[in-house]
Structure formats: structure tokens, C-alpha cells
Structure 1
Amino acid sequence: MAGSSIAILVAALFTLDALFPLKLPHHQANLFARVVTDSQGMPLRVFPDAQGVWRYPISLDRVSPLYVQALLSYEDRHFWIHPGVNPFSMLRAVGQALWHQKYVSGGSTITMQVARLLHPNTRSIRGKLYQMTRAFQLEWHFTKKEILQMYLDIAPFGGTIEGVQAASYAYLNKPAVELTHAEAALLAVLPQSPTRFRPDRNPQPAQIARNKVLQRMLTLGVWQQKEVRDAMQETVYANQLQAPNRAPLLARSLVKKYKNSALLHSTIDGDLQRSLEDYISRYRNLLPKHSTLALLVVDNKDVSVRAYVGTAEFGNQERFGYLDMVQAQRSPGSTLKPFLYAMGIEQGLIHSQSLLSDVPRAGLSYRPSNFSGGFNGPVSATEALRRSLNLPAVDLLEQLGPNYFAGRLQQGGLNLSIPGNGQAGLALILGGAGTSLQQLVEAYSALARKGQSAQLRFRQNDPLKPRYLLDPGSAWIVWKILRDTPRPDRLHTFQSMQSHPAIAWKTGTSYGFRDSWSIGVSQRYTVGVWVGRPDATPMPGHYGGETAAPLMFDVFEQLQPGSLMTAEEELPKPDSVSQAVICWPLGTEYKRADAPFCDEKHIAWILDQTIPRTVMQGQNPLTIRLDAHSEKRIAGGCSSAETKPMRVALWPAQLEPWLDYQQRRHYRIPALDPHCPQNDGLSLALPNITGVEDGSRRQVSFTRSSGKHQLMPAADLGVSGGAGEFNWYINGHYHYHSKANQTVRHPFKKSGRYEIVVVDEQGQTDRRSITIEERQR
């Protein structure tokens, strides 16, 4: 009979449990706020649940033992042994209520409090019985640790703050694992009256309640007298509740990408992020309206992102503050040039001191100009890269092949968005494609990572996936070239930069001043900066060296002490790299026997002992036949009693106007022997500009009309010599096309220095430099 009754009772309990299941926290959709933390676990940004409640996920082993001691000692000393309800506490609570004619203590256990949070009810006797029933149900289904974990997750701490981790961050700005005795006592008592004991609004009542807990801990002998005494000396203080909002655009991106993760541990250095955001809040005042910026700091060791700024001012509509410009596709300007030169070194096209030509491109439809205007004639590969000259880069890309270049970049993780039909062209190297700051920083980090790039790591558990981008030796040579790039004038006063010189850096500016870039690479960090307007409207006067580079160097200054490289901590040189003395114009290694052909000596970094010659058309040195008596040049078909050979090293013909007179062809190659006028095919009929004298100064008159200056005179420019038709460049920009014996008229619209260059169909050039001075009348 008794057995049947027990069986019926058990069956009834199972039935009731099935009919009235617990509303468990882990059954609630989006129980926790979605939290993105820095590398130390501090919240960067929190995305509350649909009701705006902040709950941070936390495990029991990540809570300070001091808090657990204070909570259980004050609220439920017998938590680990009672069945969900403590009968002695309940009897005491009933007796106190009868004696005082009101509730003095509830007698609720931790289990009962969890039951009330899951199933809210009145504080009547009926409500208390319902709460006790649900407490038994909890104990039936879960272990004590699981019940305690529920309390840690959902206990109320005032307003929209629930759970001990959220409370610890909100009120104390620290994780719950770091709570002191005083802080643990405060958070233990706070759920008893979350509104009355809120430390940010009612610090005095909160301190009284906290001290009551501390006294209980001393009375029970859980904490020592000194610990309690010191804790009572602490004044209760809490910051006003404010949701953390660091790296907001990165946090938004992470929660969107990892939709099923409530807690995302990023690689961000919280202190560095805070410092840079505070600095940018001042720096942005130097920028024009409707402009913004983006910034990345990456640790080269594991390509973890240490700081991420996607906008100058998050939320500001005038600065497009909701757009993440780290990810935006923009024109890279000249920032791809280091990879071109590195690949040119790998392919044996150049070394660091190869002789290149910064002159107009003859007979070609693509005629880029340099950013500064004008041409420089003979330049080394190092100078061309440091000065970011456009013409040598275009020539090098033409030799390497645009499709090969774009393919290598893609292989290394830098995917370019090429307009039109997607075919790479020569404009690619000057910014004629789209990429993002993130991809550029990934690629530049390869300079410090032995040529290996890798997808940036934003989370601590993201795997490291390296990709081959450059040969280790060519990566080092390019890093070395850029490391010695002179810094902008406004940076020369930074004395601290002199103590940390080992930063390779490159700037870039897209067409029309729409994008300003600066990227720096030290042994430890890669820092990338972009400045511009998201709507792609121009920012005249703002370019990489003026606007982006100062910010980039400021970021290096704010990195942790000791993280920057000193002069003795440069990147180690690979064994494949060595130095050699090479000669111009041939570009070959200096040997004593070749001394007559060595006009200039340069010390070059070379890869795998490869020393490519200067790119020229025809043989060099050139061997010609001279009449032994007249020492005039004769053709092979001429008969002469006696001839002798002559070898001469020639500079590329297109460089003639920029060479010293002794280096020019007219000086080095003798004229044809008049007794043997047969043409030997060696033309010295270089183009010669007429109409203006080199180095001349002209004073011109301006007339004033309607308050405007108008320049009256113009120059009639012609050319003698040369071959075919001609293209004219004024201050580096293409202006006119003319035929033989045809002049072009060029008006001078303002005073200043003018460089006039003409190019014939064979690429031969001539140049004049004149100065226009204004004379008022």
C-alpha cells in the first residue's frame, strides 16, 4: 500500500514537472548581451538584448572566490547541503514576520531567488509556496554549481544590469575575477535592493549595506580582521553607467560575422585603442569638413590587430561616422609601388641602384606625370621608389607585365578591384584599381615577415594563415630602401623619431586628392593610415606626406615603450642579399678593367648575386671604327688605309638633356669622316627646342581687367632635328603634338619656373628651363 502511494506520488511529480517546465535561462533566445572584448577581456562594445539588458556570459571559475564567499556567507550559508529550501531560515523568517507584523527577512535561498527570477510571483504566502516548489524543481534537475551559475548570469544589479560580470564592468570597470574584498561584498548585497543600493546613485546606502556584509564575514570567521578593516576604509564609488564603445566598427563587424557567439575576444590592445581614439578626437579637428580617417595597428609577429579605427568620429553623420573605412574600397595611389620594385628585383630586372629614366614616355597613349610635376632624368631605383616617381614605375611595370603583377598580389592576398573589363593595365601602379586599408596593411606586413603576408587576425582564436607574397631577400631590400626615406619637413622636429629610425614607410595620394595614405613597417608593427572623404570628393592640398604620414608617425610614438626598433634592431639581412659596387651608365659591377666606362659608382643591394644591366636599346658599350689619322668615325663600307676601334659607354638617349655635357653622345662619339660620308646608322640628330633659351628669364607684362590678371605674351616653340613627330610637355604634363617644321604656341598663365620637354618618336628628348617674372604696369 505504501509502495503504491509512493509510486503514485512520484508519477504525479513527473507529470507536474512535464506540464509545468522550468523557464530556464539557456532556453531563452539571446539571453546574453553580445560582448566584444579586448585582448585582456575588457569590453570594447556591448550589444544589449532586445529589452536593452546587459548580461555578460561568465563561468563560475572566472568569478573571484571572494565574491562567492561573500554571496553564500551572507545569503545562503547552507547552499551546498539544503534541498533548495532551508527550513530553519524559513521558520526564522516566519517568526520575525509574526513578531514585527511585517517581512524582515525572506528566508530565501540562492535556489529560491533563481526560481523567483525565472518565474516572477507575488510576495504573498501563495507566491512564496510557488517559489519553494520551483526551487525544489531546480534542485531536482540541476547540480548546485549549475544553479549558482544561473544566479551569476541573471541576478539583478540595478537598471538594465544583470549578472555579476555585467555589474562588475558597469560599476567597477573590471572583470569579476579581479574583485577585492570590499567590491565582492558590495556586489553580494546589491541584488537585495538593486535600486536602493546602486553605487552610482546611492553611494551612502550602498556603503552601509556593504559594511554589513563585511561585518558578517568577520563574525563568521570567513575573512580576517585586517582584511575586513581595510575593506571598510574603501569609499563606495562607481562611474556613471555608460556602455563601452571602443573600436565600435570592428565590434559591429565581428558580431555580424560570428552571429552565434555571445562573447568575442578580440586581439585589440584596449589601452592602445583608447589612447589612439582620444588622440584622433583632437587630430580630426585639423581635417576639413566631411572628411574622416581610418587607422590600423598590426603586430607583425602574428598579424594580430592591436588597434582599429574605422572612422574619425563614430556616429557623426557629417563625417560619415557609420562607414568603416578600414574595409572600404579606395584607390591606393602609389602604395603598390614597393611590391612592384620587389618583384622587379626578384625577376632580375633591377637592383637597388639600377639606372632608370624619369622622362616622358614617347609614342605611347598612356602619358602619366609625376605628382610634383616635371621630370628628373636619370634616377636610381632607390631614388625612384623613395620619391615615388611615376614614370620609372610605369616603365618597370611594362617590363614586368601588369597581369603578372596583379596576379602575384592576388596570390599574396591583395585582391585588386580593377575597373572596366578587369584587365590590369599600366595605370594600376598609379592607383588605377581599388583596394582597402586592411588589405594594404596585410601586404605591407610581409616586408617584416620575410615576404609572407597573412590575413589579419581580429580574434584571439583566429588561425594564422601565411601566404607567399615576396622573396625574403627582395622584401628586405625594399624595406631597407623605404626605411631610409627622408621624412616630411614637419616631422624633422620630432626628436624622438631620431631615436627610433627603423621604420620603413610609404605614402600615396590618389587622383584628385581623394585619398591620402601612409603605411609604416617596423620590426614589430605595421601601421596604416587613410584620410579622405567617403563620398570621394577631393580634398585639395591634402596628400599622403602632408596629412596621413604625420598621423602614422604619431601612432608609432604612442606604441608601448620599447616596442619600437632602435638602429641596432633593424630587420636581419637574409643571406641571399649582398652589396656590390656598380657603375653607371652600364649598370654592371665595377671592375678595374671597366673603369673607362664607369662614370658614376653606386653601392647597390643585390639579390642572389644578380646584377642586371641598364635597360637600353642596342649594344653598350658601343664599338665604332675610327680613321687612324683623322680619328673621325667611318662606316663599315668605307675603305681606309688604317682604322682603329673605339669603345664608348653611352647613356640612354632619352636622358641626354639631363646629362652633363661630357656624358652626352655628341661629346663622346666623333663626327663622321667627311671623306667617308656613308651613314653608319648611328644617328646623332637629337631633337633641339627652338624659340626659348635654356636658363633664360623673361619679364612679362600683366594687364588688369575686371580685377583679374591676364598674361599677354606666349612662346612659339619649335624643334629641329629629331625623328618623326613630337610630343610636348610643360612642367611634366602633356600639352601638344606637332609635326616636323611645325611650331606650337604656349601661353604662360602665371609667373614661375617652367620646364619644357619635347620627345620624338624614337624617345629622344630635349628640354629647356625658363623663368617667367611678372612686371606690373
Structure 2
Amino acid sequence: MYRLIRYVKRNRKKSLVVLALLIAYYFCLPRQLFKDPAATVITGNSNELLGALIADDGQWRFPESDSIPDKFKTCILQFEDEYFYKHPGFNPISIFKALKQNLNSGSVKRGGSTITQQVIRLSRKGQSRTYIEKFKEIILATRLELRLSKDNILNLYASHAPFGGNVVGIDAASWRYFNRSSYNLSWAESATLAVLPNAPSLIYPGKKQKHLLNKRNRLLKKLFKNGTIDELTYELSIAEGLPQKPYPLPQSAPHLLQKVAKKNKGERIKTTIDISLQKQANIIVKQHYNLLKQNEIYNISVLVLDVNTREVLTYIGNSPTDKAHQKSVDIIDKPRSTGSILKPFLYTSMLDAGDLLPNTLVADVPTQFGSYQPENFNQSYDGAVHANEALSRSLNVPAVRMLQDFGLDRFYHYLKQLKLKDLRYNANHYGLSLVLGGAESNLWDLCKSYAAMASTLNHYNENSSQYFTNEFIQPIYNSESNINFGKLTNEKTVFDAASIYLTFESMKQVNRPESDESWEFYDSSQDIAWKTGTSFGFRDAWAIGTTKDYVVGVWVGNADGEGRPGLVGVQTAAPILFDIFDILPKSDWFSKPYDEMFEVNICKKSGYRASSICDDTEQRYIQVSGQKTEPCPFHKLVHLDTSQRFQVNSSCEAISNINNTPWFVLPPLQAYYFQNKNPFYKPLPPYRNDCTESSGVSMEFIYPNQQSTIFLPKDFDGNTNDLVLKVAHSKPELELYWYIDNQFVGSTKDIHDMAVLPSDGEHIITVVDALGNELKHKITISE
């Protein structure tokens, strides 16, 4: 060290020159050798290629790989640079032989470049092949050897070497020429690709195939002679043909590829997609698309989530339609009218808040809220229906009445906690139609919400009756993303576990499509909580279902919003849903969250908590919050005579002869529709003639609704048809007196239908019963 210092002091100029050269040598190599744009590549969860988007410069150039297959590595070293792992970046012997041959021939016949030098040459695009340039390559190659390991240099070469046409790199070449991963190539295929960078134009279909075959076979023979492959492998290898045309790259999830390219352009992303499931789902969608397009329904999207990991297993953004029908549009994250798909959220919200029990009777009668008049899909009414049945049958009128009772703002608050991004306006903007499709959402958010509900229930049962704080998290499609459910807590996130469980129990009863009608009788079938939705005008058909482990969401329609007859959830989306579930592993049903439930006595007929006079009860588990619901309001004690045919009271019967009997009584309008579908419903017996009737009489209009505008049709003779007024009375045997604008028009008894022909304009209809009870309605008649 002392001598070195003395030498530097004595030879300062020489030392400065050497230092300058060392600095120049150190910085002579660019920090980043290759700046070419790369293709965006996505793979499945097992690294299978799902699809690729060509690089911006029009080249099929995959992102750099950190390893290369052993077969290709052996072939390329044997063909290009046998002493790769021994030289410092250049091979003096090869250079000398090349120089001698070139001088003797008077032209460049041999390059003598090592793989390291070729990496440098590939990075220095457009440079002429001169001796000066060759000297620069040698200097830069030695510098590259000091920076990177031999394996890294080899990976660089394999990733950037030209393989003919617009194909760059071993990964892209193996898919373009052999339609499979480079790790699955044979010896013959690996040898073919190994000789191509030396003369990439040989791969053009139909051109110089013999020359390429000879080069490949010479390399295979070399491998045989040095013992790399045995004789049988050699014979089989030389018998293999050459690729004749480039293959199109796989496009199993093109819309997910578009989604990835927006954030990770030019990168290789390993996704969570199960490629086997994705391919099977693609086939299912194509089959249904071929049927649906006959009805001019062209677009389908499907999303499958793993409930436990929240990973996206299948992503089909659109059907295999054509450009004229928006083939490239990814519908999964596009806002569409929800139809009835939000009804389970209302049901769960009411259970969670303690405003409802699963079997509670809710009214299903003609209903009008101002100018809004909801109707059931089948345009009929049940009078009263159990809440869980209203959900499973997707009845619109009970849903709107439940929303009215629960409160629009309260329900909207629950929906906002689900983080549905397309709910952009306040609750009043949507009104009561919110639960029937007045709002928009997308398949991603809806599946996310159903998965979060299923996961909430799973986690509650798996973690000593505790919840996670971050349950309603976004699903992931990048395998490197991490799911963080947050911390365990005793407090629910949005819905309590019991309310979710009871909702899923109701959704399990939804009538399946015709092909699955008798599903419960097959051992291979599984319980699925599912729901369909159909938007106004038949523009959107939905079906979303969940098991303990998987959520499947399906949307069917036209991307341009065109409605079509028959575009109904249960007819178009549901069959796809169940075909997808058939290819998924079977799941057990959810465990009952006993710690969030309470066993109580329930009135069988009304579904309310049984009162002391309910005559038919059963023990059922309800959510803890349901304990605050009122006792059954539909049972009351009725005083009957000894024959039990008439009602009596103390005015006409001795108290000792009066039988106090529990009786299930619905309000008149509900009873009117209810008894048409429930023949065993027994109306109250009439009072005996000698009795003075007590209070409790009620009546309601069946038709028309309050404040409604009525258009009277004309017959073939041009005469205007009558308007038939209808009233339901709790005591139909009483006589009713009818008035229009205080003008008496007639009376009815038993069946209270009155045909009238009012003039155009506003009218007040008044009905008075024999006991003096009065009912008024305002209507407008218009031609």
C-alpha cells in the first residue's frame, strides 16, 4: 500500500489518466440496458398464460423473466456460446478464429460474439457491425459481467433476442410458434428456438424451412454426441416437424387483461384466476350466448369470488359477441339498473334492526304512494304473505311496503355501508323505487357485498362469535395483493350474523329455473342462497348466489341498454348461474350462529312472536334484535255462541254461554285477496240477529286507489264502459250506501261492487255502512 502511494505521487499524470479511465469504464454501461416497451401479460394462479396485450411498438415482447427453461438454456449455450460460464464477457479464441476467417474471405462471415456481447449489441440498436463497434461491445460486455451474474445475463438475452417477425424473447416465441409455455417445450422445439436468434427470418412460414430444419438437426446431433440426450430422444426429436404459422396468444380473460393494463401496463401479473374454471365458464357463457342472441340478447358477464380469500376466480367481462355489440366493453364494473337484486339487503337490514322476523306477515295488496304505484311481476296479490316468502318469490309490493315501514333513509344508510359506488345521489332522489331497480349498481360491488355477508357469517362461527372490522373489503385479482380483514371485535360491521343467516335461509327457497326444479331430490345438488333481478323495461337480468365458499354473479342484457322480451333474471341469468355452480366444488351449508340467536314461541299463521291467545305456535330461532318486535296483532278473542256459528255479546247471551275463541283476523283489504289463495282462511262469523254489534268494524277500497286518474275505455259501439267500484268490509253482510259527490247512486250487500259512469273530472266517492262508518276516496276521470 505504501509503495502504491509513492508510485501515485511520483506519477500523478499517469495515475489521473488511469483513474479517469477507471471512472469512464465504471460509468460506460447504461444503468438500464433495455427501454423497449413490453407486452402486458397476465397468468392464472398456477402461472398458466391467460392473455397478453401487445407492446406499444407492435412487438410481442413479454416482460423480462427471472429464469429460463433448462432445455432452452442447454440448447442456446451449445449453439451460441459453449464457454459462456468460463469467459469474462468475450472469448479471445472465438474472436481470433472469426477475424482470421473474415480476413481470408474478404467479408464478415463469422461474428465470434459471446452471449454477453450479443446482449450488448441488442441493447445498442441500429449500430453498424464494424470492428470499432465490436471493440466497444467487448468493453461493455466485460463491464456487464462485473455488474450481473451469468444467469442474469442469460435471462436478458433470452428475453430480448429476436425470434422472427414481431416476436421477441423466448416466452413470446414459445407461445407464438408452439402455443404453450417455454417450460413445456420438447428438445426439438427448444432447439428450433435456440437457432432462431442467429437468423430470425428463417421462421417465416413457407420460407427457408429446409435451412432451419438443417440448423436445428445439427444442434440436436451435437446434443446427442455430447450425451445431453439419448439416442431415442434424438431420433424422436429429428422426426418432429417445424412450426408453419404463428398461433394467436391465449385470450381466456381479455377484459381482465384490459383492467390490469390500466394500472400495470407492460408488466407480467400473476392473477388469482383459476384457469380451468375460467375456461369452463367461458364455454358455458358461449353456449348461452348462442341461444340468447337468437332473441337479440348479446351481452353476458360473470364473476366468481372465493368467499374465504376474496380472490377473483373467474372474470368474464363480456360474451364472445362482435364489435357491433360492444364486445370489448367490460360490463362487470359498469352501472346497471339493479331490479330486485337489492331486496335481500332490505330484508337483512330489517332483521338486523329488529323491525322484522323471518316469517312476519306483510301486506300484499294494491298500493299507491302519491303517483308511485308498484306492482308485482305477475300482477296479482296475495293479501298477506310471510316476509321470507315475499323475498323468495321476489314480490314487489311487499318489498316497497316494507321499505316504507322501515324508512327510506335507514335503508339507504345500510346500503352506503356496503360501499356501492354507483349510489351517487341521496335517498330522496331514488324514492321507494330504490328497492325495485330505481338505483344502479354493478356486478363487482354486488358480488363483493354478498361475499362479505357470507364471510361475516363464516368468520363469526369460526372465531368464537366475533366479527372482523374490515369485512366488506374489495376483492382481489392480483395474487400479490394481500387481504386484511382487520381486527376481531364483538361489534358487527354492518349486519349481525343471525340476520345474514336468516336471509340466506330465505334465499335458499327461491324457485330455481325449470332445469333445476327438483334440485333438492338429487344427492349432487347443494344449497345455494341466490336471488334474481329484472330491471324495468327488460334491460337487465341479474342472478347472484352464494354458498359458504363461493359467490357467483351473472348479468345478462345488451350493453347499449336495449330491452328485450324474455330478458328476465330467472329465465336468462339464473341458468348460467347454476351451470357455473355445477363446475365449482360443492360447499356445506352455513352453520347456525347460535350466539346471535334466541329461541322464542312463534305464531305459525302470522310469523310474529306468539301472543297469549295464539292457538297454533312453534319454537323457532330468531335474531336477538327480533325480541323487540310486537306480539301477533292478527289474533284476537272472539265471543261465540254455543253453536260457534255466530258472534255474541252480553247484550244477547248469558256470559256463562259465551265461548271465548282465538281467531286469526286480517284487515278487510288483505283478507279479500288472502282468502282467494288460502281457502282455509275463515272470516269472522257474523253477529247473531238479536245482538247489538260492538265496534271494530272496518272497510277499505279495493278499487280504485286514492287520488288515482282513471281512463274509461269504450266498446265497439262507441259507448263508454262503466267504472266498477269495489270495497272490502270486515262485515260483508252489512249493507253499504254509495255516493258520488254527495249524490246517492245505490247500495250493496255481501258483495260490495258498484258500477257507475261518472263524468270527466274530479269526484269524491263516499261509502257509508249500516252502522254509520264512512269511507271517502278522491279520483279523477279522464277520457
- Are residues 1:13 and 2:18 paired? no
Measured in 1, the distance between the counterparts of 2:18 and 2:230 equals: 47
Give, as a single letter, the amino acid of the residue that structure 1 aligns with 2:577: M
Measured in 1, the distance between the counterparts of 2:277 and 2:354 equals: 42
Measured in 2, the distance between the counterparts of 1:575 and 1:212 equals: 74
Give 1:110 shift.
0.7
Q: How does 1:684-723 map to 2 (within 5 A)?
A: 684=698, 714-719=721-726
Measured in 1, the distance between the counterparts of 2:774 and 2:510 equals: 31
- Are residues 1:105 and 2:127 paired? no
Q: 77, 80, 84: which one pairs with 1:75?
A: 80
Counterpart of 2:662?
648
- Classify 1:666/1:83 alpha carbon distance in 2 versus 1 (closer, same or farther; 3 Å): closer
Counterpart of 1:550?
575
Measured in 2, the distance between the counterparts of 1:661 and 1:139 equals: 92
- Are residues 1:455 and 2:474 paired? yes
Measured in 1, the distance between the counterparts of 2:742 and 2:194 equals: 92
Counterpart of 2:513?
488
Q: Deviations over 1:237-277 (max 9, x none)?
A: 47624244332222222221345x62222212223323333
Give 1:487 shift.
1.4
- Classify 1:632/1:38 alpha carbon distance in 2 versus 1 (closer, same or farther; 3 Å): closer
Counterpart of 2:607?
587
Instruction: Name whichever of 244-253 and 170-179 sits farther off.
Output: 170-179
Counterpart of 1:409?
415
Instruction: Name whichever of 32-41 and 546-555 sits farther off.
Output: 32-41
Question: Contact 1:297–1:528 (CA<8 Å) still a contact in 2?
Answer: yes
Counterpart of 1:519?
544
Q: Secondary structure at the match of 2:248?
A: coil
Give 1:202 shift.
6.1
Measured in 2, the distance between the counterparts of 1:720 and 1:131 equals: 99
- Are residues 1:478 and 2:503 paired? yes
- Classify 1:343/1:510 alpha carbon distance in 2 versus 1 (closer, same or farther; 3 Å): same
Give 1:673 shift.
5.5
Question: Contact 1:585–1:649 (CA<8 Å) still a contact in 2?
Answer: no
Measured in 1, the distance between the counterparts of 2:774 and 2:57 equals: 73
Counterpart of 1:775?
none
Give 1:615 shift.
7.8
Give, as a single letter, the amino acid of the residue that structure 2 aligns with 1:211: N
- Classify 1:588/1:289 alpha carbon distance in 2 versus 1 (closer, same or farther; 3 Å): closer
Counterpart of 1:370?
376
Give, as a single letter, the amino acid of the residue that structure 2 aligns with 1:666: L
- Classify 1:495/1:191 alpha carbon distance in 2 versus 1 (closer, same or farther; 3 Å): farther
Measured in 2, the distance between the counterparts of 1:384 and 1:94 equals: 89
Give 1:460 shift.
0.7
Q: Deviations over 1:409-459 (max 9, x none)?
A: 322333452557765632211111111111111112235323454311111
Counterpart of 2:483?
464
Measured in 1, the distance between the counterparts of 2:11 and 2:159 equals: 41
Measured in 2, the distance between the counterparts of 1:394 and 1:387 equals: 14
Measured in 1, the distance between the counterparts of 2:503 and 2:132 equals: 80
- Are residues 1:540 and 2:565 paired? yes
Q: How does 1:84-483 map to 2 (within 5 A)?
A: 84-97=89-102, 103-119=108-124, 120-139=126-145, 141-197=147-203, 204-225=210-231, 227-237=233-243, 240-258=246-264, 262-285=267-290, 286-287=292-293, 288-289=295-296, 291-313=298-320, 316-361=322-367, 366-417=372-423, 419=425, 425-451=431-457, 452-466=471-485, 468-483=493-508
Instruction: Name whichever of 356-365 and 370-379 sits farther off.
Output: 356-365
Question: Contact 1:111–1:147 (CA<8 Å) still a contact in 2?
Answer: yes
Give, as a single letter, the amino acid of the residue that structure 1 aligns with 2:513: P
Question: Contact 2:357–2:607 (CA<8 Å) still a contact in 1?
Answer: no
- Classify 1:470/1:226 alpha carbon distance in 2 versus 1 (closer, same or farther; 3 Å): farther
Give 1:738 shift.
9.9
Question: Contact 2:613–2:635 (CA<8 Å) still a contact in 1?
Answer: no
Q: Deviations over 1:655-694 (max 9, x none)?
A: 2112268745532x635864x56xx43115566889xxxx
Measured in 1, the distance between the counterparts of 2:436 and 2:214 equals: 69
TM-score w.r.t. structure 2 length? 0.78
Question: Contact 1:689–1:718 (CA<8 Å) still a contact in 2?
Answer: yes
Counterpart of 1:695?
none
- Classify 1:721/1:590 alpha carbon distance in 2 versus 1 (closer, same or farther; 3 Å): closer
Q: Secondary structure at the match of 1:499?
A: coil
Measured in 2, the distance between the counterparts of 1:208 and 1:495 equals: 65
Measured in 1, the distance between the counterparts of 2:244 and 2:744 equals: 86
Q: 607, 619, 623: which one pairs with 1:607?
A: 623
Give, as a single letter, the amino acid of the residue that structure 1 aligns with 2:592: K
Instruction: Name whichever of 413-422 and 146-155 sits farther off.
Output: 413-422
Question: Contact 2:422–2:441 (CA<8 Å) still a contact in 1?
Answer: yes
Measured in 2, the distance between the counterparts of 1:211 and 1:234 equals: 10
Q: 36, 41, 44: which one pairs with 1:38?
A: 44
Question: Contact 1:250–1:308 (CA<8 Å) still a contact in 2?
Answer: yes
Measured in 1, the distance between the counterparts of 2:248 and 2:774 equals: 67
Percent same amino acid at aligned positions?
28
Give, as a single letter, the amino acid of the residue that structure 2 aligns with 1:542: L
Give unmatched runs, 5+ long, in structure 2. 1-6, 458-470, 487-492, 705-712, 731-739, 746-753, 759-766, 777-783
Give, as a single letter, the amino acid of the residue that structure 2 aligns with 1:75: E
Q: Secondary structure at the match of 1:425?
A: helix
Question: Contact 1:738–1:744 (CA<8 Å) still a contact in 2?
Answer: no
Question: Contact 1:447–1:478 (CA<8 Å) still a contact in 2?
Answer: no
Instruction: Name whichever of 570-579 and 167-176 sits farther off.
Output: 570-579
Give 1:522 shift.
2.6
Q: Secondary structure at the match of 2:684?
A: helix
Counterpart of 1:683?
697
- Classify 1:646/1:226 alpha carbon distance in 2 versus 1 (closer, same or farther; 3 Å): same
Question: Contact 2:448–2:475 (CA<8 Å) still a contact in 1?
Answer: yes
TM-score w.r.t. structure 1 length? 0.79
Question: Contact 2:531–2:545 (CA<8 Å) still a contact in 1?
Answer: yes
- Classify 1:555/1:59 alpha carbon distance in 2 versus 1 (closer, same or farther; 3 Å): same
Q: Secondary structure at the match of 1:520?
A: strand
Question: Contact 1:371–1:389 (CA<8 Å) still a contact in 2?
Answer: yes
Question: Contact 1:293–1:529 (CA<8 Å) still a contact in 2?
Answer: yes
Q: Deviations over 1:751-774 (max 9, x none)?
A: xxxxxxx9x9x9999xxxxxxxxx
Measured in 1, the distance between the counterparts of 2:543 and 2:24 equals: 69
Q: 564, 567, 583: which one pairs with 2:586?
A: 564
Give, as a single letter, the amino acid of the residue that structure 2 aligns with 1:209: K
**Residue-pair matches, total:** 703
Measured in 2, the distance between the counterparts of 1:140 and 1:66 equals: 26
- Classify 1:14/1:352 alpha carbon distance in 2 versus 1 (closer, same or farther; 3 Å): same
Q: Deviations over 1:551-599 (max 9, x none)?
A: 2222223x25xx134xxx32333324588774344535679x857x33x
Q: Deviations over 1:172-205 (max 9, x none)?
A: 3333344443333232222111111468976654
Q: Secondary structure at the match of 2:367?
A: coil
Measured in 2, the distance between the counterparts of 1:496 and 1:118 equals: 67
Give, as a single letter, the amino acid of the residue that structure 1 aligns with 2:687: P
Cα root mean square deviation, aligned: 4.3
Give 1:713 shift.
8.2
- Classify 1:319/1:292 alpha carbon distance in 2 versus 1 (closer, same or farther; 3 Å): same
Question: Contact 2:533–2:542 (CA<8 Å) still a contact in 1?
Answer: yes
Counterpart of 2:554?
529
